[in-house]
Structure 1
């Protein structure tokens, strides 16, 4: 089942995507959801009105302290180990975590 995505979430996601283009990040899809990739590796994605990020342990733990953030579970009943979902209400931190995810995945 595809989650409804608001126009505000799409705009915030697009702003993050655009800011990472110069670093070589391209748009793609993962499990049918929009995502951002570098060298075919997924950095971040959009799940409903949340943006998801693949993060190493310390930034992931910090991200989980953001109000409303949670371990990312794409609906399979088990959260993905390195992933966190941060809601639209906290989209002001999306660029920060997108940068950390890019640095982690691209290393």
Structure 2
């Protein structure tokens, strides 16, 4: 399957939880309310997992995974991990973890 097909499967899986698609810098993204928590970037999928969380550590442990640096200027975003297409079979798990992390943050703000 292509990255877009995996993305579509994840959208279908998470839609009942209020997740919808959006565009972020021209790329397809997953959003809950007004907050993006995952985005397709080239052949990678990038997840906002929260620095220091188990999912963040697990994602960075995958071959080729790295902190996401959208500027390309050696200023990576500490909460975001780019997971290569080689690991697309795990993207759904990371999307769920990113959604759970976002929900936890939103609850903490209330």
Give the structure-1-normalised TM-score. 0.88
What value does the CA root-mean-square deviation take over the aligned residues? 1.3
The aligned residue for residue 104 of structure 1 is 101
Larger radius of gyration: 2
Q: 1:60 aligns with which of 53, 56, 59?
A: 56
Residues 1:34 and 2:28 are matched in the alignment: yes
Unaligned runs of 5+ in 2: 105-110
Provide Cα deviations, 1:42-88, integer angstroms capped at 9, x if missing partner: 11000000000001222212110011111111134211120001011
Extract structure 1 runs of 4+ deviating beyond 4 A: none
Of 16, 22, 30 in structure 2, the residue corresponding to residue 22 of structure 1 is 16
Measure how far apart 1:31 and its partner are.
Answer: 2.0
Structure 1, unpaired ranges of 5+: 1-6
Q: Deviations over 1:13-53 (max 9, x none)?
A: 11112111011000001222211000110110000000000
Secondary structure class of the residue paired with 1:68: coil
Distance in 2 separating the partners of 1:43 and 1:18: 16
Instruction: Report the count of equivalent residues.
Output: 101
SS at match of 1:17: helix
Residue 75 of structure 1 corresponds to which residue in structure 2?
A: 71
Structure 1 Cα separation of the partners of residues 78 and 57 of structure 2: 12
